[in-house]
Structure 1
Amino acid sequence: MVSKAVVSTISLILVVGVALAVVAFVHHKNGTKSAGENLSPSMKAMIDICGMTDHQEICQKSLSPVAEKGSMDPKEFIKAAIQSTINELSKSMNFTDNLVKNVSSSARLIKMGLDDCKELLQFAVEDLQSSFSMVDDNDLRNMNDTEKDADLKNWLSAVISFQENCRDEFQDAPEYQSLMTKNLQDASLHTDNALAIVCNLGDILKYFGLEFNIKPSGGRRLLSEDGYPSWLSASDIKVLALQDNGRIRPNVVVAKDGSGQFKSIAAALATYPKNHRGRYVIYVKAGIYDEYIIVQRDQKHVFIYGDGARKTIVTGNKNYRNHKTQESASFSVLGNRFMAKSMGFRNTAGPEGHQAVALRVQSDRAIFYNCRMDGYQDTLYVQAYRQFFRNCVISGTVDFIFGDSATVIQNSLIIVRKPMDGQFNTVTAQGRARKNETRGLVIHNCRIVPEQELSPLRFKIQTYLGRPWKEYARTVIMETTLGDFINPAGYHVWNETSFALETCSYLEYANRGPGANTNRRVRWKGVRVINRREALKYTANYFIHAYYWLKGTGVPYLPTFR
């Protein structure tokens, strides 16, 4: 309590001091200027930078050590913002550790939630460290609309996602949810500030008399002479070239009948070499694999392919009754640059299982091609980072595509199933929590249809395109066929409240079919039909920067419109 009081006092003194400094810039009515002109250039820079954030007092406290040193290097201010976030998040991790030690062993779900929080916050710290290194190692003038700029915003957005995920672990335990919310409050505000500063990098450089280095047209070298992205390793290119010709040579083969090296996918993943570089290819022969798979964070560049989405299937039935939502997943991906082709993922808990995830993706630059995800509520958890789905089938009932990633789903079939009695269907529940997050869900050139069992009841059982899970939820549906069973209102409130109705975004462009008529859509501020120019921002090349990582993978995609 004493330490909190001291911090509060110091914060108050700082706020008052900064407020007086700002006032000092204001002209008096008689036209004279006050002593504020004597503020150092670095202190003025700090005030200007923090003016771009929503939590200015916290920002000024974070950046004041840089200003006090008289630095006029914008890189030092940005690094200070990120470092202060790391410090706050480390405190949150220590608090979570203490909670884990003190929780009763009989409170299994609470302990499970706390363990998940520890892991999520550790991932957040790692992303912050990557962000710090990115700023430290690069000339900020070269980060205008580049892969590095996209990575930086992606990592900081993921930090927010993980903090929100941690809080969500305790939605049925109000006491612990309140504890974690208070515990993460300072870290959340610092993260929000850091992301705001990065999103305003151009203005910050201008303040310091700098400008982005604009490369001449055609100067961006995305592809090497062999047609593959320049960031791919030689071994990766070799694997992808083989994929193009249909002659992939896997590292390991999985077969239930014993004709491969392993009978389970878990056993095959266990052979992933430490510090492996390049693709690690796993071929899974046809069969039903009843096992719970996690591709760990250090298992990067895994490519898993099967004999077809209806032939090679990973299945499970964990659900909300005995597991946390993310722990219910039949298949989870944490390692970056994961690829799956011709695979099926399902959760058979049924509608009565409520939250029951078939596939959870927390992998950056993840690709799913010719795959199938079947479940009911919460089928596909697009948890974080950047993801791409092409030629897939996704089925479910309530919020069955949800999460806080930057995800594009293209040329896919989205099947709405029959829910429990008394329920209505919602295709999406996007989880963007802060306005500066580079997150959202884009459904592009797809078809949204009812399953056979729902079809005769499709006008009795209501189906909506989405509802806002978090305050700045953002979903874009474009060039997609919408069936006649889509409720004309389009979107539904969250749990019968007015939550997020002023801040969420539901955007539609050039959709077709009877469900595409927008005349009777809900009259929320962020529900609107957009023009082609605005829609371009949500195409694959722009929204998830697909030109850096999809071209050359052998997976077809629409760079912009169809």
Structure 2
Amino acid sequence: MASALFAITLLALLLCSSTARHHKQPPSAGNPGHDTIHEACKGSGDPVTCESFLSKSIHLPPNATVSQVIQSILVVSSEDLEKAKGMAKNILDASGGNLNRSAAARTCLEVLHYSDYRINLTKDALPRGEIKDARAWAGAALAYQYDCWSALKYVNGTDLVDDAMSFLNSTVIFLSSNALSMMQNYDVYGEKTGSWGPPRTERDGFWEPVSDHSGSGFNLRVPAGLKADVTVCKSGGCTYKTVQEAVNAAPDDIDSGKLFVVHIKAGVYEETVRVGLEKRNVVFLGDGMGKTVITGSMNVGQPGMSTFNSATVGVVGDGFMASDLTIKNTAGPDAHQAVAFRCDSDHSIIQNCEFVGNQDTLYSHSLRQYYKSCRIQGNVDFIFGNSAAIFQDCLILVAPRQINPEKGEKNAVTAHGRIHPGQPTGFVFQNCLVNGTDAYMALYHSNPKAHRSYLGRPWKEYSRTVFIRCRLESLINSDGWMPWQEDFALKTLYYGEFANSGLGSDSSKRVDWSSLIPAKHVESYSARNFIQGDQWTRAFS
């Protein structure tokens, strides 16, 4: 991740319009739905701008509900996303031999397609009362829009790029952020708009209501005894010789109650694997960590390569599952960002898997993910992204940077990237062990002051990460958490701990911008409440 991102003031980006025609003008009296818009905009971060914008953009009947306001915003968002995709296509067509700008435009086209897909799912979910799903999908849609804006930021220098960034900021991101803010209010308070207000987080003392059913009753897991639809092996005698060929064979848009199971037999598979949006419910079954290995070495040091595209394995299709395999990125620490696994799969379950890399090993990019009994190794921000992810019973290992490691280093295990307070995202670590590899611990014991590791740092303004009942070994610095750059995000992030153990768990010396989670609110981070795991695993339990 590029460190320049710390300077972006995301609250202004997401909640304000950058064009005069959208800013603090009187609302249109001719819009019969103005009173409802007025009420709904109380749930935004900037009610005046929100009301002015929406009064010009959407039209509602006099008896419209606030949920209809949200629906109308989503309709306009879909229309504006089509315009944004057209602008990205124009950038691509005009980029010629500019490799980096062409790559950024292609990334924009890809992620804006994902954003549109999630917006359409949100529109369908709201009338059915599926507000948790709607919030998860709308939060991802906003993240993808920001990804496009961010990709263009690093190749700006033409009017086409500047115009596209301005449109994304002032219209597309603006609409999505306001819809997301309203959805948080609607989820908590319903149509009782008297209680609506700007989106809040735990740092504001706000904890969302939890389910009354706090017991078990469901089991997040890759189902046992699955029969392979296809097999992959290097030596022949299987259906396919590459993992990608097996993925390509999966039916598009498979029924929600069915799985496509790929047995990847023991061997080392040097390839880039992509599980597309249309490839739902794909399952990778390996023969064990270290036995079935998918490996690559793409990294941002290569021309036209981004962190997003550097992943050895990248998954977008919902319902992805994997067990008993290893995914690596072997680019090395001098390559900087080099992702082993990137996941954008809603309702994904990853079990008994290993992820090995250095900087940015595991890109838990968006939506709801569950990691059980996994092994994750790296050094700089090696678990990062803007998903709602639970890591349960996992082994988290800090590895040394191999460039003059004797001179010392500062490593952060996590870098969560929530960009808006209404996004229901964050990293939750439960019953995990955080330690160093043998090589790292040898360096640490030789000079503890020079080799410092932290639980996380804020990649984006509303970064959220919690460690609950984990064992934190001595390598974790007594501060616990480290800043990104100066005071960026320190007043808006939420970093919490509860009932951890080990030599690195002493909370008495933690930085004053971290928190101890109140016992009565720990259940907020359960699989049931945080990722609605009891609902989306039923078909396969």
Query: Under TM normalisation by the shorter chain, which class is it?
Result: 0.7 to 0.9
The alpha carbon displacement at 1:92 in A equals: 1.9
Which residue identity does 2:132 align to in structure 1?
Answer: A
Change in Cα spacing, 1:125 to 1:338, as seen in structure 2 (3 Å) is same
Q: Following the alignment from structure 2 to structure 1, what is the Cα–Cα distance between the partners of residues 505 and 538?
A: 31
Partner of 1:484: 474
Partner of 2:515: 528
Partner of 2:289: 309
The alpha carbon displacement at 1:327 in A equals: 1.1
The alpha carbon displacement at 1:308 in A equals: 0.2
Alignment deviations for residues 202-260 of structure 1 (CA, whole Å, 9 cap, x no partner): 54523599xxxxxx989xxx99xxx999xxxxxxxxx97xx43x3x3211011111021
Which residue identity does 1:93 align to in structure 2?
Answer: K
Q: Secondary structure at the match of 1:16?
A: coil
| Residues 156-195 of structure 1 aligned to structure 2 (within 5 Å) | 156-170=138-152, 172-173=154-155, 175=157, 181-185=165-169, 186-195=171-180
Partner of 2:533: 546
Q: Following the alignment from structure 2 to structure 1, what is the Cα–Cα distance between the partners of residues 241 and 50?
A: 54
Q: Is the 8 A contact 1:382 1:404 kept in 2?
A: yes
Change in Cα spacing, 1:174 to 1:448, as seen in structure 2 (3 Å) is farther
Q: Following the alignment from structure 2 to structure 1, what is the Cα–Cα distance between the partners of residues 527 and 333?
A: 33
The alpha carbon displacement at 1:113 in A equals: 1.7
1:81 paired with 2:73, answer yes
Partner of 1:95: 87
Q: Following the alignment from structure 1 to structure 2, what is the Cα–Cα distance between the partners of residues 55 and 85?
A: 18
Which residue identity does 1:483 align to in structure 2?
Answer: E
Partner of 2:413: 427
Change in Cα spacing, 1:178 to 1:354, as seen in structure 2 (3 Å) is farther
Q: Following the alignment from structure 2 to structure 1, what is the Cα–Cα distance between the partners of residues 153 and 452?
A: 26
| Residues 493-532 of structure 1 aligned to structure 2 (within 5 Å) | 493-494=483-484, 496-524=485-513, 527-532=514-519
Q: Secondary structure at the match of 1:424?
A: strand
Change in Cα spacing, 1:434 to 1:392, as seen in structure 2 (3 Å) is same
Q: Secondary structure at the match of 1:169?
A: helix
1:318 paired with 2:306, answer no
Q: Following the alignment from structure 1 to structure 2, what is the Cα–Cα distance between the partners of residues 9 and 442?
A: 41
The alpha carbon displacement at 1:44 in A equals: 2.5
Partner of 2:349: 367
Q: Following the alignment from structure 1 to structure 2, what is the Cα–Cα distance between the partners of residues 311 and 191?
A: 44
Which residue identity does 2:287 align to in structure 1?
Answer: D
The alpha carbon displacement at 1:546 in A equals: 1.1
1:252 paired with 2:230, answer yes
Alignment deviations for residues 340-359 of structure 1 (CA, whole Å, 9 cap, x no partner): 01011000111111100000
1:129 paired with 2:120, answer yes
The alpha carbon displacement at 1:275 in A equals: 4.2
Q: 2:111 aligns with which of 110, 120, 123?
A: 120
The alpha carbon displacement at 1:68 in A equals: 6.0
Q: Secondary structure at the match of 2:476?
A: coil
Q: Following the alignment from structure 1 to structure 2, what is the Cα–Cα distance between the partners of residues 180 and 328?
A: 25
The alpha carbon displacement at 1:79 in A equals: 1.2
Alignment deviations for residues 46-75 of structure 1 (CA, whole Å, 9 cap, x no partner): 212112211332344325676664233334
Q: Is the 8 A contact 1:385 1:405 kept in 2?
A: yes
Q: Following the alignment from structure 1 to structure 2, what is the Cα–Cα distance between the partners of residues 88 and 327?
A: 25
Q: Is the 8 A contact 2:36 2:65 kept in 1?
A: no
Report the aligned-residue RMSD: 2.9
Change in Cα spacing, 1:259 to 1:481, as seen in structure 2 (3 Å) is same
Alignment deviations for residues 440-498 of structure 1 (CA, whole Å, 9 cap, x no partner): 0111110000101111222121111111000100001110000111111111121x332
Q: Following the alignment from structure 1 to structure 2, what is the Cα–Cα distance between the partners of residues 461 and 401?
A: 19
Q: Following the alignment from structure 2 to structure 1, what is the Cα–Cα distance between the partners of residues 21 and 411?
A: 51
Partner of 2:435: 449
Partner of 1:473: 463
1:410 paired with 2:392, answer yes
Partner of 2:25: 15
Q: Following the alignment from structure 2 to structure 1, what is the Cα–Cα distance between the partners of residues 34 and 340?
A: 52
Moved more, 483-492 or 544-553: 544-553
1:340 paired with 2:322, answer yes
Q: Is the 8 A contact 1:465 1:486 kept in 2?
A: yes
Q: Following the alignment from structure 2 to structure 1, what is the Cα–Cα distance between the partners of residues 125 and 509?
A: 47
The alpha carbon displacement at 1:166 in A equals: 2.0
Q: Following the alignment from structure 2 to structure 1, what is the Cα–Cα distance between the partners of residues 59 and 163?
A: 34
Q: Is the 8 A contact 1:96 1:117 kept in 2?
A: yes
